[in-house]
Amino acid sequence: MSQVMIADRVPTHELMTSGHLACPGCAAPLAMRLVLKALGPQTIVVMPASCWSIIAGPWPQSSLKVPLYHTAFETGAATASGVRAALDMQGDRDTTVMVWAGDGGTFDIGLQALSGAAERNEDILYCCYDNEAYMNTGVQRSSATPRGAWTSTTPASHPEASAKKDIVAVLAAHHIPYIATATVAYPVDLLEKVKKAKAIRGTRFLHILSPCPPGWKFPDEATIELARMAVACRVFPLLEIEDGVRWRFTMDDDTTEPLQPYLRCQGRFAHLTDEQIAQFQSDVTARWKWIERQVAASE
């Protein structure tokens, strides 16, 4: 798709301002900017502790032009449930209540509240921008950190030992109406998924891979390319899941790029041996095949 065509399909109105406090090259503000373009001004954002707590700006500033409630780390989905309930009591069924949380606030400390809200099928859109570690506190591992990665709590001599938690499968097991994965490398795909999610009632979950230059150790200008490579080498498949049971790949084509270049351009994987890369590849392949079986069972 040409750049002109993409530009035509991205709404021009902005609900996020310049002057935000993200690091250079951070994918998270790009993701927010696009998501808000798709949602529009009738949106309330609930934000548990994350990099975005800083990016949004200190009191009395805000880099968002929509209402924003900063809440405690583990409470994104619960706080949003309360916002939704209050809007319902006011007869407002149209405003979208969006949680904007990082991987720590979603995969780890916020998982209980998220599971509760998903089980109750609260009418909220939960967006997790996933930079695969606790970046705001200085790159400590989370359960979203991939196996083999360096973080400040998994030194290169003892890198992350566990595979990344399959959060999408966890949410699918709750049978919520809509789950999707997206990255900033595919903005039109991201916008379309948000628009689709906006029109659905019930709990909707959007998992956005968010490359982090200082945490993953790559040059600021490579963010979009990293996000694209993660999809192309099947580390981060682009998906939609309806009601937890109807799985669908949403990529334009199914050609696969090799894993090696994706890993080799990130300092957090610099220590990996060929053997460890082979192990990484086998994790990626196994998960891809598992998803293929879900997709096949959906057809």
Partner 1 sequence: MKKVIIGNHAVSWGARLARAEVISAYPITPQTQVVEELSEMCADGRLDARFLKVESEHSAMAACIGASATGARAFTATSSHGLALMHEMLHWAAGGRHPIVMANINRALGPGWNIWTDQTDSLSQRDTGWVQLYCETNQEVLDTTIMAFRLAETVDLPVMIVLDAFYLSHTAEPVDIPDQDAVDAFLPRRQARFKLDVSDPHAFGALVRPDSYMEMRLQLQEAMERTRDVFDRVEVEWQQRFGRRYGAVEAYRADDAELLLVTSGTITSTARFVVDRRRERNEAVGLVKVKMFRPFPVERLRALLGGARQVAVLDRNLSPGRGGIFSEETRAALYDLPEETRPAIHGYVVGLGGRDVTPTVLDEIIDRTRASAVPEREDVWVGVNP
Of the candidate spans 6-14, 28-36, 71-79, 149-157, the one that interacts with partner 1 by CB under 8 A turns out to be 71-79
CB atoms closer than 10 angstroms to residue 125: 24
95 near partner 1, judged by CB under 8 A: yes
Shortest Å, Cβ 69 to partner 1: 5
Cβ contacts of residue 203 below 8 Å, gap of 6+?
Answer: 117, 118, 120, 121, 122, 123, 124, 126, 174, 176, 177
Which residues on neighbouring strands pair with residue 209, listed in sequence order?
Answer: 130, 183
Beta strands in 184-286 (DSSP E): 204-209, 239-242, 246-249
Q: Are 263 and 281 in contact (CB under 8 A)?
A: no
Q: Which residue from 1, 6, 7, 85 is in contact with partner 1, where contact means CB under 8 A?
A: 85
Of the candidate spans 82-90, 151-159, 177-185, 278-286, the one that interacts with partner 1 by CB under 8 A turns out to be 82-90
246 near partner 1, judged by CB under 8 A: no
Cβ contacts of residue 98 below 8 Å, gap of 6+?
Answer: 35, 39, 43, 44, 45, 46, 80, 124, 125, 126, 127
Shortest Å, Cβ 140 to partner 1: 20
C-beta closer to partner 1: residue 167 or 263: 167
91 near partner 1, judged by CB under 8 A: no
Of residues 104-163, which lie at the interface with partner 1 (CB under 8 A)?
Answer: 112-113, 115-116, 119-120
Picking from 9, 32, 11, the residue whose alpha carbon sits closest to that of residue 21 is 32
Euclidean distance between CA atoms 60 and 185, whole angstroms: 32
The amino acid at 298: S
Of the candidate spans 76-84, 135-143, 199-207, 249-257, the one that interacts with partner 1 by CB under 8 A turns out to be 76-84
Shortest Å, Cβ 95 to partner 1: 6
Picking from 262, 272, 209, 213, the residue whose alpha carbon sits closest to that of residue 239 is 209
C-beta closer to partner 1: residue 81 or 266: 81
C-beta closer to partner 1: residue 108 or 189: 108
Binding mask 36-65 for partner 1 (x = CB under 8 A): -----xxxx-x------xx-xxxxxxx-xx
Shortest Å, Cβ 207 to partner 1: 21
DSSP 114-144: HHHHHHTT-S-EEEEEE-SSBTTTTSB--TT
Q: Which residue from 26, 35, 74, 178 is in contact with partner 1, where contact means CB under 8 A?
A: 74
Q: Which residue from 50, 79, 142, 151 is in contact with partner 1, where contact means CB under 8 A?
A: 79
Residue 214 is given by DSSP the state: I
Shortest Å, Cβ 32 to partner 1: 13
Picking from 166, 167, 165, 171, the residue whose alpha carbon sits closest to that of residue 244 is 171
Where does this chain bind partner 1 (CB under 8 A)?
41-44, 46, 53-54, 56-62, 64-72, 74-75, 77-90, 95, 112-113, 115-116, 119-120
